[in-house]
Chain A
Amino acid sequence: MKPTLALAALLLTASVAAADAASPFEPWERYRTRYVPIRGADFDLCQRIDQLRPEVAAAGGGLILAAEFRHTDGRRLDGSFRVERQVIDKGPGYTTPAWATLIAAIAAVVLGGLWFVRRVRALRE
């Protein structure tokens, strides 16, 4: 049992070190996004972006880019709109998703390591 516990502790330490160096722990910001028509733009379309894809408008980050350039109905939006972002909330990197990612990754590594050891032992016997 001792070697198994030692392996689990080793895997746990390595996972925490790896996860701490990973990107989910960077500081975050949440935006409020507005699409402002500039030239030749269809104002109704601006409003429809928020209606059809509210999660895109609210998410911030990479998904916002998807809404900037490509609408769900296939019409391109580039050139005609200005995307205004207003920071409404921000915080340190230790968000719920970051913690969940960390815990799940550690569990995966530890359980996977233990399963691998058990498997090797079973094959030897």
Chain B
Amino acid sequence: MLCVSVVTGVGFAQTPQAAPAAPAARFVVVIDAAHGGDDTGGHLSDGPQEKAATLALAVRLRSLLAARGFQVVMTRDSDATVSPEQRATIANRANSQACISLHAAETGSGVHLFASNLTPAAATRFSPWKTAQAGWMTRSLALTGVLNSALQHANVPVTLGRTALPGIDSMTCPAVALELAPERSPDKKLTSEPDNPDYQARVAGMLATALVEWRSEQGNMGARQP
């Protein structure tokens, strides 16, 4: 079934109800470093490509989460080309409790958090591949809220939105797309680019804190529910 989905882009994603009942032993987080390989993403103001900035942030976040006892699954950990379908397939197979797609941009400021703009729908045994996220929208919005709270608590400007993003729309997990924009002073002057190591380390730390909070909110670790 997954092969059909990947090759044709049309298929079905199995919702957790249909998955084997064996509960996951650890709290799984999927980190999706957007772009990679031939897909360079956007260009940041000071030269580097978006794919490099997202990978660097993903690696930082992975280290912090692993140190906190999370099981982390990466959609890529090198400069490899990974299609949106492959990203969703990796996330769906991981049986994860949180999926975070990392992006970087030169526009705006702070952190942009996006959930899918699919209409929330009741989870069914099989879901259309391109709208599989619809059954998880409530949980995705809840995860967005937790990330937003943690970032705002640390005085990072956050903008919230909904978007259509192929990888996220096919994920059967609480999924959020996070775009790291430049850090700016109150008078809008640029203080850090999205690829700045210190800036990335701070944001990664806040995300790790938020995911610890998310894990504690879940209560029943491993029991994934849309």
A binds B: no
